[in-house]
Amino acid sequence: MMQKIKRLALITTGGDCPGLNAGIRAVVRSAIYHQIEVMGVIRGYEGLIDNNFMPLYSHSVSNILQRGGTILKTARSERFKTHEGRKLAFENLKSQSIDGIVLLGGDGSFRGINTFLQEYSFPAIGIPKTIDNDIYGTDYAIGYDTALNTVVQAVDKIRDTADSHDRLFFVEVMGRDAGMIALQSGIGSGAEAILVPETVTKVEQIVGILNRGWERKKTSMIVIVAEGDDSGGAYKIAEEVKSRFSQYDTRVSILGHMQRGGSPTCFDRVLASRLGVAAVEALLSGRSGEMVGLVNNKIELTPLSKVVTGKKELPMDLMRVAEVLSL
C-alpha cells in the first residue's frame, strides 16, 4: 500500500563523510520522480530546532555527485538530546507541512531519531553513513570505501619515504570504537601490524613482529593504529616500542580529518544512490522507524531500535589474514 507523502524533510547529521552529496542527490531525485516535494534541513538536528529549511529541486543537486562533504551542512546537536529540543523540532516539521523524514546519519543520529519517534508518530527512514563502518544492519555505510582508499593511498606514500630511509612508521587512522578502517586498510597497504580497539595490544607481540621483519632484512615497516586502540594512540605505542626496538628510525603520522574528505569512490556513489532511492520508496510503502542497508548486496530494512542496540562485529578472519601476511 502506497503511503500518501507530499513533502519530506531531508537531513544530514553527525560527522561528515564522502558520499553524503550522492545520497542527497538520490533522495531528491527519487522523491521528485514520485512527485514529492523535498525540504532540505540545514545543519542537521540543529536546523530542525531552528526551523532552518530550504526547498530542493532537481537542479539543486546537479553536479554534486562527485563532491565530498554535504551541501546541507551538518552538526552535532546537544539540544536534540532534550525533550524540549525534540518538541520544537516536531512543531517545526508540522509548520512546514512535512509528511516524512529521510535521515543520513550514524549511530548517534539514529539514537536521536529513534528517541524522537518514540515520542512522536512520524514517518522516518534512516540511511547509514560513517567512515567507521560500524553501523549494525548493513554491510557497508556510505563513506567507508572512500576513507579506506584515502588511507591506503596515504600509507603507500608513507611507505615510499619509509623505504628510502629504513624507517618504521606508526600511522594512526580514525576508529574511536571500531577497527574497520585500520584492519582493511592495513591489509590493503601491507602493514606489518594492525592495532584495533576490539583486541588487546601487547607490546611484546609487536616487537616480535618487528624483529622478524628486521631479521628478514625489511627496509621499512608500517604499523596501523586505530585511534581508539587500548595502547593510547600512535604516539604512545610508538614510544613504548621504540624503547624496546631501536633498529629503525621510528616516526609517527596521524592521518586525521583527511579521511573524512575527498571525492567519493564509485562504490560509495553507487551505494548512496541505491540507499537514497530505497529510503524514499520505503516511506512510500508505509515503512517507518527503520534503516535501509545493504546486506549480501541486497537492500534490507532494519528497525532503528535494533540498529542502535546491535553491535557489528569486527571480522576476525581478516585479523588472521593480516597476521599470516605480516611476515
Residues designated as active site: 132
State the cell numbers at 153: 593511498
Residue with cell 523524514: 101
Give the whole-angstrom CA distance, residue 101 versus residue 323.
Answer: 44
Give the C-alpha separation, 161 to 171, whole Å: 13
Task: Fill in the DSSP letter of residue 61.
Answer: G
What is the helix, strand, coil percentage profile of the chain, to 5? Answer: 45, 20, 35
**31, three cell numbers:** 522523491
Exposed, middle or buried: residue 241 (CB in 10 Å: 0-12, 13-18, 19+)? buried
H/E segment holding residue 144:
helix 144-165
Contact 37, 54 (CB under 8 A): no
- Residue 285 neighbours by CB distance under 10 Å: 12
Q: Which of 207, 202, 198 is nearest to 228 (CA)?
A: 198
Torsion of CA 168, 173, 179, 185, to 10 degrees: -70
Q: Which amino acid is at 62?
A: S
Give residues with Cβ within 8 angstroms of 120, minimum separation 6: 86, 90
Angle at 196 between CA 195 and CA 200, to 5 degrees: 80
Grid cell in block for residue 103: 535521515
